[in-house]
Each structure stands twice: as structure tokens, then as C-alpha cells.
Amino acid sequence: MSEFLSSAWRSLPAGTQDLLVLGGWLLPSLLALALGLMRYRTGDLVHALLRRHLGVTLIFVMLIALASGLGLAIDVQERGIRAGTAGAADRFDLLITAPGNDTSALLAAVYLQPAQLPLLSGRTLQRIADDPAVAMAAPLALGDSIGRAPMVGTTTGFVRHLIGIGPGVSVLDEGRLFKDAGEAVVGATVALSVGQRVSPSHGIGSAVTATHDHVQIELVGRLPRTGTPWDNAVIVPVETVWLAHGLGDGHAGDAGGAIGPPFDPVRMPGVPAVVVRADSLGAYYALRERYTDARTMAFFPAEVLTRLYRVLGDVRRLMTLLSSVTQVLVVIAIGVALSILLRGLSRRFAMLRALGAPRRFVFALVWCHATILLLSGALLGIGVGVLAAFVLAERIAATSGVHVPVSLSVVDLSVPAMLAGLSVMLSALPAAWLARRPIVVDLRG
């Protein structure tokens, strides 16, 4: 029998399973409400009881809301962070760097986190660019900043790829793409104006060591929002970065100030990373294998993220465990608080029984009252959880530029539903206890 049930359960679609679990947790509440509001007419009395100790009732509801909202916020946030960070890496199909730590390279290239990365030589970059399997090889030059925004050197080809437009098409929020080494575009959220002239600094944030005062850059365009850390960056031609450091512009002498590929492999300074696009899945895997050797390291950002998500998942499990322990403690606290609250109302319940109310009615009234308290808290908890997730998402976006999408799923609702379900089941105990107490003892107070 259990084999059959287990097999039937596994055969159900995941969404149906989630709905059934949610329904299962809601069942005790529905039962209590049906008993209280349909079998009997306890609505007015429940309303009166809720109003009787309004302050305590509100504190009680808020505690439940916080307890259930915490667990929900963790789940929603963790999923949002996964989606946001994965989305931010979408345009970085294959990264090639010098051998080292792929996580550091990923954080530096995609999420623009400060890191000391070894450089790929000009000849290596040329070899990658000339590879027939490569459709685009965009160098990334990192490590400088303008104001509080990191400055990234790259090509117009990669900028177009980043914002999803084709060659010759301009859908910038403002202005145009850079055309020479004295121009730059800003990300959507950078607090600099198009038309402004700026000088870069060496280093980022508190690690700034010097300013490149000899370099003047005019901001000529603003990129549309990408939901990535690049929204917070100033993007310049890669040549600008080389020139700022006195390394030439990477082109042959007769290039006449041109920017972008082809570069001169002899004159070209190194870059920490190259973003590579290929035309087929097979080509990506071939490129990864080809450029994973003693001089280069090629990796898919998605693979590194998957590894990070496993760690994140472990952290989430730990936080969920802590949150679950908290919730169990809250359920116990709710049980105790509810018993105290109901004990304060016991004279009213005894009066009802003295007037002829059957025990079942008093049980239904108390259970319904407790259920409405608990459900209100759980519903409010959903709001609290979503609000907390939104606030956290905004903070993450503000500090890292990663857009963290916040969305609710049926599984998320199971957390407050579980808390409410367990508490409602538990609250049947004080309800039964109150319905069986000696009337005279409670009437005498």
C-alpha cells in the first residue's frame, strides 16, 4: 500500500505535489474555520475576543508574521540571488584568463569585484582572436575606477553583446558608444552625466592608490539597464586603460588612434581576461579544452556559479535549519502564549457553558479564535517575507548591481502554511482543555 502511494506521489507533477503539500498544511486551519464558522456561528464572538485584548492580539500576530516571514524571505532571496547572479553571467559565455582561481576570475570579470589577476599576453590574446572557432574575443581590462564606479576597458563589440544589440544599431539610453580612446559610456545607474569629462583612478574604492590625471575621458553615452554589476561601471575602450598606464594603445604605429581589434600582438599589453563567443555549443567545449593548459585557463561562468550555488545551497540549508529551529521554538512559544491568552478568557468560556453552550461549541470557538490569530500572522508573514526579500534585493542591487528578482512560488507559501498548520493543530489542545474545565472553577475566577 505504502509502495503504491509512494509511486503515485512520485508520478505527480512537481507543481501538483507542491499544491498538495500546501493544501495539507492548510487543512487544519480550514477544518477549524469550518467548525467555527459553518457548524456554529462564532464570527461575532471571535471578533469580540480578538478586540478584547487587541494589543496582545496584535503582538501575537506580529510574532507569528516575523517567524514565518523570516523563513520565507530566506527561500525567496536565495532563489533570487541564484537567478540574478546567473542572469548577470549570461553574456559571459566562455572566459579565458591566466591560470589561477576561476572563482576570483569570475568575480572580477563578471561581477567587477576587485581582484589581482595575472595577465594574458598579447600573443595569447591574438591566438584566441585568430582561432577559427571564435566568433568574438573581447579583452577585459580591470582594476581602475572613476569616482565610485569601476572602470572596465573592452571593445564596442562586447558592449553591444552585453546590452543585446547588433553591430550598427544604437539603443543606448542616452548618447552613443565610444569611438576613440578619449570617450566612455556609463552604466545605467552610474551617477555621472553624459557630456561630463572625468579622469580615472588606479584601483577601486578604498584601494585607490593614484589618479591618472593625464587622461581625460568624455562620457558620450549611457547604456540601458542590464541588471548586472556593469550597470554601475564606466566602460572605456581597452586602449584607454593601456594608455592610462603608459603602455601604449596596443596597435601598430600607423593605426591612427583606431580602437578595437585587430590589435598588434607585439605592442599589445596583457589583459586579465577575455570573453569569448563561439557559434556552436561544440565549439565552446572545444575552446575550453584548447585553452586549458599551462598558459591559459578557460571556463564557463555557469559551471563556477553552479559550484558556488552548491555552497550557497549549503548556507541556505543551514539558515533554513536555523530558521526551522526558530520556528519550532516560535510554535512552542505560540502554544504557551495562546494558553495564557485563552486562560485570561476562560471565565467568558465558562459563562457560555453555564448559559447552555455545549463543549463542542466552546472548543470550536477557541480553536477558531486561535486559528484566525495564527492565519492572520501567517498571511502577514507572507507580506513581511516578500517585503524583506524586496528590501534585501534592493540593497544587493545597490551594492553589487546584480538584479535579484523576487517572486513567490507555491513552495514559498508552504513555510508560513506549515507554521500555521502546526500551530493550529497544537492550538486544538488548549481548546479541548478549556472546553473540559470545570465550569464553576472558572466562573468563580
Partner 1 sequence: MQPWTQAVASDGAPAAGTLGARGLRVEAPSGRVLLDVDVLDIAHGEFVVLAGASGAGKSTLLFTLAGLQVPRTGSVRWGDTDITTLSEAARARWRGERVGLVFQDFLLFDELSALDNVALSGAWSVRGALSSLRARAWQRLDWLGLDPDDPRPVSSLSGGERQRVAVARALAASPDIVLADEPTASLDRQAADRLVETLARLVDERRRTVVVVSHDPSLIAAADRIVRLVDGRLCAAAP
The residues near 48 (Cβ < 8 Å, ≥ 6 apart) are none
Window 16-55: contact mask with partner 1 (x via CB under 8 A): ------------------------xxx-xx-xx--xx---
Binder among 56, 352, 379, 408 for partner 1 (CB under 8 A): 352
Residue 93 CB coordination number (10 Å): 18
Whichever of 230 and 361 has its CB closer to partner 1, that residue is 361
Task: Give the shortest CB-367-to-partner 1 separation in angstroms.
Answer: 14
CA 138 to chain centre: 28
Task: Tell me: does residue 342 bind partner 1 (CB under 8 A).
Answer: no
Give the list of residues 6+ apart from residue 84 with CB closer than 8 angstroms, or none.
Answer: 227, 393, 396, 402, 403, 404, 405
Which amino acid does the sequence have at 359? R
Q: What is the contact mask toward partner 1 in residues 147 to 166, using x (rule: CB under 8 A)?
A: --------------------
How near is the Cβ of 440 to partner 1 at its closest, in Å? 5
Asked whether 361 and 354 are in contact (CB, 8 A), the reply is no
Residues 357 and 104 sit within 8 Å (Cβ to Cβ): no
> From the CB of 375, what's the least distance to partner 1, in Å?
20
Using an 8 Å Cβ cutoff, are 370 and 427 in contact? yes
Q: What is the closest distance, in whole angstroms, from the C-beta atom of residue 40 to partner 1 in the complex?
A: 6
Cα end-to-end span (Å), the chain: 52
Does 444 bind partner 1 (CB under 8 A)? Our answer is yes
Residue 440 found at the interface with partner 1 (CB under 8 A): yes
Position among 55, 246, 256, 356 found at the interface with partner 1 (CB under 8 A): 356
- Identity (one letter) of the amino acid at 228? T
Q: Which of 126, 68, 74 is nearest to 331 (CA)?
A: 68
| Listed ranges 163-171, 310-318, 357-365, 419-427: which one lies at the site for partner 1 (CB under 8 A) | 357-365
Residue 239 or 442: the one with the smaller Cβ distance to partner 1 is 442
Whole-angstrom CA distances from 97 to 69, 116, 273 are 42, 12, 5
Contact 298, 290 (CB under 8 A): yes
- Which residue lies nearer to partner 1 by CB, 48 or 321? 48
Q: Minimum CB separation from partner 1 for residue 32, in Å?
A: 16
Taking the mean position of all CA atoms in its chain, how far away is CA 337? 35
Among residues 5 and 54, whose Cβ is nearest to partner 1? Answer: 54
Instruction: Supply the minimum distance, in Å, between the C-beta of residue 51 and partner 1.
Output: 5
Check residue 348 for interaction with partner 1 (CB under 8 A).
yes
Q: Which residues in 359-378 contact partner 1 (CB under 8 A)? A: 359, 361, 365
Whole-angstrom Cα distance, residue 66 to residue 405?
A: 22
Q: Does residue 261 have a cis bond before it (omega within 30 degrees)? A: no
Alpha-carbon torsion 149, 151, 155, 161, what sign? negative
Minimal distance in Å, beta carbon 436 to partner 1?
9
By CB under 8 A, tell whether 290 contacts partner 1.
Answer: no
In the complex with partner 1, the residue whose CB is nearer, 168 or 356, is 356
Binding residues for partner 1 (CB under 8 A): 40-42, 44-45, 47-48, 51-52, 347-348, 351-359, 361, 365, 439-440, 443-444
